[in-house]
Amino acid sequence: MTPIYIDSHLHTSFSGDSETLPRAQIEQACALGMQALCITDHQDFEFPAGDISFLLDTDEYFSALTRLQTEYQEKIRLGIGVELGLQTNIKTDLAAYADSCPFDFIIGSVHASRGMDPYYPEFFEGLSEDSAYRSYFEDELENFRAHDCFDVAGHLDFVVRYGPNKNQYYSYKKFSDILDEILRTLIGKGKGIECNTAGLRAGLGHPNPTEDILKRYRELGGEILTIGSDAHQPDHIGYSFDRAGSLLKDCGFRYYTVFRGRKPEFLPL
């Protein structure tokens, strides 16, 4: 029997890029037989100007999700998390925000690099694809060194989802120097990473980060690993989790992690 893993990265209509009501995500998780899930809507302060606001109404978010926790307490354990956009220039503000709310789980993600969102083509203008990727990894490293206000680093190599050639010419080996430094920094600070299956959904053939990075994290002594679909709609919850479980075992993991009250719990794969 295939284990039913807990989804620790998903979004709802509290995020600027989702229209799905929290109840719909919870109902889908229940239908899949998940014992728990954690909603992690976006909070990106001072995000580069674009078509979408990623500012979270935190008071209303907690109010709504707390009501749903009570309503569904006999069916599923609902965690209240956040995906926090890391930027070094607002380090103090992010730390204060993280401490101001009783989050179960905080994902630290770099969504803005060189003052731009990699989702848009202008991020890659004037640079080779490899140079753009490396500049993004350099920003990640700077942020992970600077911040302590998160539990797990989000989708480490998600920049490749949006490159001109996506991951056609990308590999861990090509960027192993800086990727290893990122992993060592996270491990040294007691932070985890995630296996984000949105890369599989986006047609990359690999999760974010790739199997080679996941394996290297384990080789370097990393133990804290969550599994997340990055779902913005119900049919993406738990996407390819059966495949994720198998590849994580191949990478040397025997356990994955869920968080409750910012504390890790380890569950068998």
Q: How many domains does the chain have?
A: 1
Assess if residue 203 is contained within a domain.
yes
Q: Are 268 and 5 in contact (CB under 8 A)?
A: no
pLDDT number for residue 255: 97
pTM of the complete model? 0.97
Assess if residue 118 is contained within a domain.
yes
Per-residue pLDDT of the chain (269 residues; tens, 9 = 90+): 567 999 999 999 999 999 999 999 999 999 999 999 999 999 999 998 777 889 999 999 999 999 999 999 999 999 999 999 999 999 999 999 999 999 999 999 999 999 999 999 999 999 999 999 999 999 999 999 999 999 999 999 999 999 999 999 999 999 999 999 999 999 999 999 999 999 999 999 999 999 999 999 999 999 999 999 999 999 999 999 999 999 999 999 999 999 999 999 999 99
Neighbour count for residue 185 (Cβ, 10 Å): 17
* Dihedrals phi, psi of 41, to nearest 5 degrees: -70, 160
Token readout for 130 is 């490899």
* Dihedrals phi, psi of 99, to nearest 5 degrees: -80, -15
pLDDT digits (tens, 9 = 90+) for 109-161: 999 999 999 999 999 999 999 999 999 999 999 999 999 999 999 999 999 99
pLDDT number for residue 195: 98
Token readout for 72 is 């569904």
Assess if residue 184 is contained within a domain.
yes
Spatial distance between the Cα atoms of 224 and 151, rounded to a whole number of angstroms: 9
Q: How much of the chain, in percent, has pLDDT values that exceed 90?
A: 97
Residues 23-54 as b/e (b if ≥16 CB within 10 A, e otherwise) read eebbbbbeebebebbbbbbbbbeebbeeeeeb
Q: Which domain holds residue 122?
A: 83-227+234-268
Assess if residue 98 is contained within a domain.
yes
Spatial distance between the Cα atoms of 108 and 191, rounded to a whole number of angstroms: 10
Pairing of strands 255-260, 263-268: antiparallel
Tell me the CATH number at 200: 3.20.20.140
Assess if residue 175 is contained within a domain.
yes
Spatial distance between the Cα atoms of 201 and 265, rounded to a whole number of angstroms: 27
Assess if residue 20 is contained within a domain.
no
pLDDT number for residue 3: 77
Assess if residue 135 is contained within a domain.
yes
Give residues with Cβ within 8 angstroms of 7, minimum separation 6. Answer: 29, 34, 37, 38, 227, 228, 229, 231, 237, 238, 241
pLDDT number for residue 1: 56
pLDDT number for residue 2: 63
Assess if residue 264 is contained within a domain.
yes
Asked if residue 209 has a cis previous peptide bond (ω within 30° of 0), the answer is: yes
pLDDT number for residue 50: 73
